[in-house]
Amino acid sequence: MATAPTQYQKKQAARRATSDIERLAKTYQSGLFDVAQQQATGFANWTAETQRITAPYEAAVRKYTSEDFPNYQKQVAAANAAFQRETEAYNQTMSAYDAQVAAYRQRLSSYNASIADVSSNPSERVNITATSTGRSGTAYNIGGKLYSANNLPSGYFVENVTTKGTTRGRTVDVTQQQLFKTRDVPTFNEEPPKAPTMSAPSLKLPTAPVAPKQPSLPTFDTAAFSQKREELGKVYEREVGERKAAKQNVVMRRMSRGMLQGA
C-alpha cells in the first residue's frame, strides 16, 4: 500500500525543481554572455578592418587637402596672373599697332586727296609778271633767271587768259598771256605698318588633382547576434515551461494517489 509523500519529500522535490530552473537560468545567462562576447569580438574585428581600409584613404585626404589642392590653387593663381600680364602686353602692342594703322590710313587718305586734286587741276597759275626785253619780247623771272615764253623751263607754259575789264566805262574782254606750271604728281611710297607677330594669349590652367575616392567599407551585422539571443530565450522559456509542467504533473499524480488511498 502506497504512502503519501512526507513534508520532507515535498520540500526536496521542490528544491530539485527550483535547482533545475536555476541551472537553466545560469545556462541561459552564460549563453547570453557568450553571444555578447562574440558580438564584442566581431565588432572589434570590424573596427580594426575598417581602420585598416580607411587609413590609406584618410592619409590621401590629408595630403590632398594640405598639399595637392593648395598647390593646384597656387598654380591656378600663377597662371591667371601670367595670363593677365600677357593680355596687358598684347593689348598695349595691338593698341600701338592700331594707332600706327590709323595714322597710315590718314596719310594715305591725304595722298589720295592730293592725287584727286592734281587730276582735276593739273596746272596752276604762277604769280610772276612778264617783263619786256625789247626785241626778244617778254620774259619771265623764274628762280632769278629770265626765260622767254618760247624757252621756258620744263613744266612751265604760257597760255592766253581772258578776263573781264573796263575801258572808258565799258566792260570788255581782256586777253593776256599768263604763266602756268604743271603741278607735280605727289608720290606715296610708304609701306603699311606690319602687324605684330604675337598671337592673342590663352589661359593655360593646370590639371586639377583628383580627390581621393572613399573606399567601400565592410558592414557590421548585428542581426545574427540578435537571432542567437532570441533562440536562447526561446529555449530557456521552453525548458522552464517543461520543468514547471512536469512538476505540476507530479504533484497532481501524488494528489490523486493520496485521494485514492483515503477512499
Q: How far is CA 202 from CA 59, 83, 86, 136, in A?
A: 36, 7, 9, 81
* Per-chain mean pLDDT for the chain: 86
- Name the 3-class secondary structure at 146: strand
pLDDT digits (tens, 9 = 90+) for 208-251: 999 999 999 999 888 988 998 899 888 888 888 887 777 777 66
Q: Which of 167, 164, 165, 143 is nearest to 154 (CA)?
A: 143
Cα angle at 142 between 137 and 143, to 5 degrees? 145
- CA distance linking residue 178 with residue 162, whole number of Å: 10
Query: 139 forms bridges with which residues in the sheet?
Result: 131, 148
pLDDT digits (tens, 9 = 90+) for 31-68: 889 889 999 998 999 999 999 999 999 999 999 999 99
Sign (positive/negative) of CA torsion 86, 89, 93, 98?
A: positive
pLDDT digits (tens, 9 = 90+) for 162-207: 888 888 878 888 888 889 999 999 999 999 999 999 899 999 999 9
How many CB atoms are located within 10 Å of the residue 179 CB?
Answer: 20
Query: Confidence band (pLDDT; 50, 70, 90) for 13?
Result: low
Question: Do 151 and 137 touch, CB atoms closer than 8 A?
Answer: no
Number of helical H runs and strand E runs in the chain: 3, 6
pLDDT digits (tens, 9 = 90+) for 72-123: 999 999 999 999 999 999 999 999 999 999 999 999 999 999 999 999 999 9
